[in-house]
Amino acid sequence: MSGHDHDHDGPNRRKVLECMTWAGTGVLWTITGGVPRSLGIIDSAMAADAPGMTFLQISDSHVGFDKPANPNALGTLEEAVNRINAMPAKPSFMIHTGDITHLSKAAEFDNAERIISQTKLDVHYVPGEHDFIDEEVKLYRERYGRGTKGHGWYSFDAGGVHFVGLVNVVDLKAGGLGNLGAEQLAWLEDDLRGKSKSTPVVLFAHIPLWTVYPQWGWGTEDGGRALELVKGFGSVTVLNGHIHQVMQKVEGNVTFHTARSTAFPQPAPGSAPSPGPMKVEDAKLRSMLGVASVNFKQNEQRLAIIDTPLQG
Amino acid sequence: MKTLNRRDFGVAVVAAILLPVTTARAEGDMEVHIDNFVFEPAELKIKVGTTVTWTNRDDIPHTIVSAGKFRSKTLDTDDKFSFTFTNAGDYKYFCSLHPHMTGMIKVE
């Protein structure tokens, strides 16, 4: 990130982003009494020492992408998988926050599966808009839709945490942002009913559920409705992809976090004419791609999130 | 500058259509480009019978969707989509993958 044009942004944009944290290297976050505190740069070995449940997030692998920003997106996905396999302690499972493929081609889904399955981890997927563009819109659902509701939403419990995978890339309205829709929100309300408010909740979806930058469509029209539904819970973590860069924000009991892509970086909000793939020097690319590791310790309110780039 | 040129071209096209020449329709074809997640020109005024061709020049796929009127397949880089407007009216359209991208074709 360091080479990026932040210096040209001036104070206005800095003010807009004041509650967001940009992480260029692996940073372990811990939050005590509602105040986020960075423990500094760490490596994956330290993360492995942390007791409790650890799971991984990967995102935006865009298998099939071959443009100048990264001519070999499958290769960098494989590098991410190799890093995961080299972790000293095996994570409990992995979530993938969408855009598995670039064009929803069968071969792209096959290649993604071939590489990701090498982690030998259970992977919980949600779709990105790039996973629903095959003619019949069936390839994602055939592979990952089993046991899900609607366009592919579902929930599960692991390590005392309630996980909810949401779909906000369907039925988008002209001029609007990501969309959950009334049916999904009704399901979410029902899904959370009866859960103890002390249960930590993780919501994950492709497009950020919070409004990052509406000019580029980086937000979810009715994301606020979903956040209303988790308001009473003591610990809520929202994990998203789509914007191909790390952003983090804490609001009350809710921690928002977006993961890097394993394929190509995208520019910081407003820093380029469009949110399209950002071409960086070859030597810098891998410092802008990566995976995230999330650690949950019993009796601690917050989940610690560590973003690890593929390199640097 | 680009837009001005295109507008000049449009005037020529209107003149051509008024002439009783059967090839006038093909000459009237208009183009919209997608660059940097923007339809250019964002608004196009055309005569009934004109064919508009969209070209995606981004590294990211886009679609052209006008609710109930027309819907392209997903256009990868340099892919094109054409639609011939046979009825007058205002056709709002957008990219169903990036809905902040919107455009308008006014057919008279």
What are the structural domain ranges in chain A? 6-18+54-309
Tens digit of pLDDT for each residue in A30-89? Answer: 333 333 333 444 444 444 454 678 999 999 999 999 999 999 999 999 999 999 999 988
Contact between B76 and A277 using a beta-carbon 8 Å cutoff: no
Query: B49 vs chain A: nearest CA distance in angstroms?
Result: 25
Tens digit of pLDDT for each residue in A223-234? Answer: 999 999 999 999
Supply the pLDDT for residue B27. 58
Supply the pLDDT for residue A3. 36
Residue A244 near residue A262, CB atoms below 8 Å: no
Supply the pLDDT for residue A276. 96
Q: Which of A125-129, A174-178, B8-12 has the lowest mean pLDDT?
A: B8-12
- Residue B11: inside a domain, yes or no? no
Instruction: Please give the residue of chain B at the shortest CA–CA distance from A132.
Output: B97
Supply the pLDDT for residue A193. 96
Residue to mutate among B34, B37, B59, with most A CBs inside 10 A, is B59
- Residue B43: inside a domain, yes or no? yes
> What average pLDDT does this structure show over A254-276?
96
Predicted confidence band of residue A211 (pLDDT cuts 50, 70, 90): very high
Q: Which domain holds residue B64?
A: 29-107
Query: Considering the entire predicted model, what is its pTM?
Result: 0.83
> What average pLDDT does this structure show over A254-264?
96
Supply the pLDDT for residue A215. 95
- Residue B2: inside a domain, yes or no? no
- Residue B14: inside a domain, yes or no? no
Tell whether B74 is within 8 A of chain A (Cβ): yes
- Residue B76: inside a domain, yes or no? yes
The answer, yes or no, to whether residue A263 has pLDDT greater than 50, is yes
Residues in chain B: 108
What CATH number is attached to the domain comprising B91?
Answer: 2.60.40.420
Fold of the CATH domain A6-18+54-309: Purple Acid Phosphatase; chain A, domain 2 (3.60.21)
How many domains does chain B contain in total?
Answer: 1
- Residue B50: inside a domain, yes or no? yes
With H, G, I as helix, E, B as strand and everything else as coil, classify residue A55: strand
Choose among A68, A173, A215: nearest Cβ to B99. Answer: A173
Tens digit of pLDDT for each residue in A183-196? Answer: 999 999 999 999 99
In angstroms, rounded to a whole number, what is the distance separating the alpha carbons of residues A174 and B66? 9
